[in-house]
Chains A and B, each alone.
Chain A
């Protein structure tokens, strides 16, 4: 049981070690890039974790991130402050969360259809408003200086650089990331603690498994689910803001490029658990980094095209969903609107 749970972590570690052994320089570059590519995935994955653990399926992660990326980039450009951009990003994403909550909690509609609608709403509105505001075909102007989150160099990063093994890991991977990367990493233990060590977390998980029991205990199902959907919105907001103001310098039409769905895949891969979410999103970040560095990965016997690497997260998720390698069972009340008995 223990071994099975840490399987993803072991696979990730194995890939990193083999890579470092074959080509050390490329590996440290690639693993650093994987960290940055992981960040939006991890935040969105944890966002989905809160929502789905509370019984609200969310296939609108993509749209929320996209909306956040656009609002963050626009406000960061207009005010010159990445922090105000971050706030705006969270606001944009929360607005869509409210729509999702209204549809799937208050009006007991189909959560999946609401998610589809949110994705299209974000995809259309961002270009519509962006074209009107900036006239660049849906892009925002490039962000510079304080409009972007800058890398933070941790203490001793320079002095330790030449120390073997620890040096490249500390100064190349751990140091020199933007603050949002650390926020994302910090969110993993925080999420674990909130979900498994607090009363709120217990209730939140209960509402995703058996809402009637929570209701019987005199706790509002509606309020709990709204809280979960709101947390989901905040995390998607940070994820989108990181995409537009950390990873790149500005918003580009459809810039999330399926990341919301990869995060969803990672969530299933992680079986709705926070630490596994970290490993799964890192694995998917690593796959993306490898596909970027080696468009045609030559393994000697066979050459793997980059399209295959890009599709690998989806293929792996289908295999996991099929239950051939450890079964992924979603929260039991997921997808069901709660109807109080009358």
Chain B
């Protein structure tokens, strides 16, 4: 018998963790002599008060959905993929190569091709750590951290020495051809005769990200592969006994994970900057960890958590603009969310479980 009802586990524990993280952040704001209420108001107004704010919030959320799903898929195979940052950076390289060197006449053709490029490069970057984990038992957390740094160095090299246009000082690739630019959501709304989110970077990728949530849900809970991933995650001997190859499933789960992280590049590289710049991922790979933990490793939870972090990200930017609180505040909030939902999970959970147990006893329920 479970110690507490499912709704409490799924909704209450992440909410309490969030409240704790927010409370400590409020204390930090107080400690540096600012008003937490004012800060919250600025963030809400800046991120959700206008369609402009929403445009950015959704744009950031799109990144975090992909990286959150990436962490989640690996997590279900009980692999901690901390390498989303490097995989997303490599995905960006895939997108850039496809768009710069293939003649693609229209964005509707460019999009699927670029998606393949992004996913393939992201997956390839996850392959070596996955293979080493599966075959040689090298700890995937360490190898994926190392691969983040190797990806950063490789990208730095490629951008400075190979992709940089002649005569440019900026370590960035040339602009992608005009024909491959993705339509922004604001254009779609304009087409429908509505004015929404002018000059915001949110684009059709957001819809793809929402679709990806659905597909990942189907994959994990409605397919044989998803079942095998979950079995491996619960117990490796169990998986072997059921005739599931741990090596195969480990590698496949990580390829999917890396591919999802790579797909983020459709949003930030193809959709927003329309060229490959240095450090394009900007930490979104790591935020994916917080998003997956907060979202309880469920696609719907991840969608909500990604929206929350999109709000924090955009709100944090506004905060830095209008107050003296630097945008690093959101890094602190992000750290606290990871701490409470991931590492101090038991601290939140144990008192709750005790509470529910005692409630059940007083209500006279048998056992």
List residues of chain A with CB under 8 Å of any chain B CB: 59, 99, 102-104, 107-114, 116-121, 123-125, 127-129, 131-132, 137-138, 258, 261, 264-265, 268, 305, 307-308, 310-311, 314-315, 317-318, 321-323, 330
Contacts and interface: CB of A to CB of B under 8 A. Distances in A.
Nearest to A137: B326
Task: Identify which of A59, A102, A307, A308 gathers the most chain B CB atoms within 10 Å of its CB.
Answer: A307
Contacts of A315: 146, 150
A109 B342 contact: yes
A120 B335 contact: yes
A123 B328 contact: yes
B142 A317 contact: yes
B136 interface: yes
B334 A120 contact: yes
A58 to B, nearest CB: 12
A307 B132 contact: no
Interface pairs A-B: 8 shortest CB-CB:
A124-B331, A120-B335, A113-B342, A311-B153, A124-B332, A114-B343, A117-B339, A103-B343
Given A104-B343, A131-B328, 13 more contacts: A107-B343, A112-B82, A113-B293, A113-B343, A114-B343, A116-B82, A116-B286, A117-B343, A125-B328, A128-B329, A132-B324, A314-B153, A318-B143
A120 B336 CA distance: 9
B146 A318 contact: yes
Contact of B80 (A112, A132, A265, A322): A112
Given A118-B335, A308-B153, A308-B157, A318 B147 contact: yes
Interface in B218-246: none
B28 A128 contact: yes
29 contacts: A104-B343, A107-B343, A107-B346, A109-B342, A110-B342, A113-B339, A114-B342, A116-B82, A117-B343, A118-B335, A118-B339, A120-B332, A121-B336, A123-B335, A124-B332, A124-B333, A124-B335, A125-B328, A127-B331, A128-B328, A128-B332, A138-B328, A261-B149, A265-B146, A307-B154, A307-B157, A311-B154, A315-B150, A318-B128
A117 B138 contact: no
Contacts of B166: none
Task: Identify which of B153, B161, B346, B347 gathers the most chain A CB atoms within 10 Å of its CB.
Answer: B153
Interface in B24-43: 28, 32-33
Contacts of B333: 124
A132 B29 CA distance: 10
Nearest to B141: A112
A113 B338 contact: yes
Given A120-B338, A132-B324, A307 B156 contact: yes
A107 B154 contact: no
B11 to A, nearest CB: 20
Nearest to B332: A124
B139 interface: yes
Nearest to B146: A314
B258 to A, nearest CB: 16
Contacts of B152: 311
B136 A322 contact: yes
Contact of B150 (A111, A264, A268, A314): A314
B325 interface: yes
A211 B161 CA distance: 51
Q: Interface size for chain B: under 10, 10 to 19, 20 to 34, or 35 or more residues?
A: 35 or more
B328 A127 contact: yes
Q: Chain A binding site: helix, strand, loop or mixed by DSSP?
A: helix
B145 interface: yes
A304 to B, nearest CB: 11
Task: Identify which of B138, B156, B350 gathers the most chain A CB atoms within 10 Å of its CB.
Answer: B138
Nearest to A57: B141
B313 to A, nearest CB: 13
B272 interface: no
Nearest to A318: B146
Q: Chain B binding site: helix, strand, loop or mixed by DSSP?
A: helix
Interface string B342-362: 111111001000000000000
A256 B136 CA distance: 31
Task: Identify which of A119, A137, A317 gathers the most chain B CB atoms within 10 Å of its CB.
Answer: A317
Contacts of B342: 109-110, 113-114, 116-117
A101 B336 CA distance: 15
B73 interface: no
Contact of A321 (B82, B132, B156): B132
Contacts of A114: 339, 342-344
Contacts of B336: 117, 121
B346 A108 contact: yes
Contacts of B293: 113
Contacts of B160: 307
Contacts of B289: 113, 116
Nearest to B137: A323
Nearest to A310: B153
Given A121-B332, A264-B142, A318-B146, A307 B339 contact: no
B16 to A, nearest CB: 14
Contacts of A258: 149
Interface in B315-335: 324-326, 328-335
Nearest to B156: A307
B328 A117 contact: no
A109 B146 contact: no
A111 B82 CA distance: 13
Contacts of A118: 335, 339
Task: Identify which of A117, A321, A323 gathers the most chain B CB atoms within 10 Å of its CB.
Answer: A117
Contacts of B146: 261, 265, 314-315, 317-318, 321
A110 B293 CA distance: 12
A150 B152 CA distance: 34
Contacts of B139: 321, 330
Given A113-B342, A305-B157, A311 B325 contact: no
Contact of B343 (A109, A125, A268, A305): A109
A128 B143 contact: no
A76 to B, nearest CB: 21
A323 B138 contact: yes
B328 A311 contact: no
A265 B144 CA distance: 12
A128 B149 contact: no
A336 to B, nearest CB: 13
A103 B142 CA distance: 20
Task: Identify which of B146, B293, B343 gathers the most chain A CB atoms within 10 Å of its CB.
Answer: B343
Contacts of A330: 139
